[in-house]
Amino acid sequence: MDAIPRDLPQPVPWTLLYADDVILACEDKDDLERQVQAWCDRLTRFGLKLNVKKTEYLTTDVNESGSIKINGTELARTSVFKFLRSAIASDGGLTVEVNSRVSAAWSKWRSLTGVLCDRKIPEHLKSKIYRAVVRPVAMYGAEC
């Protein structure tokens, strides 16, 4: 993936690549539309396609009107963007991020309650499982 857009991306944090996901960040909507179109054209040249149905954009200006179009197709606007398990909200708040981290901790706890509440399993083993699996997820959630 790094070879295709060799001369397109700007330095981090304006362009982030991870596996087959790309984040483009711009100061204004017109510049973003130009960059997305450039990526779309470059991918087409290498026989790939930009999935316009899955492509979304986020803006921090709630009063901003209009939308972004790629090859005549309007992109969906989102209020929350998730990338690599982190959530970015258009209002800059952390509510979505905190909720997702708390949910991850509860999910990990629920997945292990069968083991952690089993009377046949020794306490020291339960403690090791808790410290190795549940606590790191819960502590990561507490970092917000």
> Among residues of the chain, what percentage have pLDDT more than 70?
84
pTM for the whole structure: 0.60
What per-residue confidence (pLDDT) applies to 18?
Answer: 63
Helix or strand (DSSP H, E) at 90: none
Q: What is the CA radius of gyration of the chain?
A: 21
Q: What's the start-to-end Cα distance of the chain, in Å?
A: 32
C-alpha 141/C-alpha 63 separation (Å) is 32
Q: Please check the confidence at residue 124 and state whether its pLDDT lies above 90.
A: yes
Please provide the size of the chain in residues: 144
Q: For 48-91, what is each residue's pLDDT tens digit?
A: 888 888 888 888 877 777 788 888 888 888 888 887 777 888 88
State the DSSP code for 75.
P
C-alpha 56/C-alpha 73 separation (Å) is 12
C-alpha 14/C-alpha 27 separation (Å) is 10
C-alpha 130/C-alpha 115 separation (Å) is 10
13-27 mean pLDDT = 72
- CB distance 101 to 76 below 8 Å: no
Q: Which residues pair with 76 in a beta bridge?
A: 56
Q: Which residues pair with 69 in a beta bridge?
A: 74
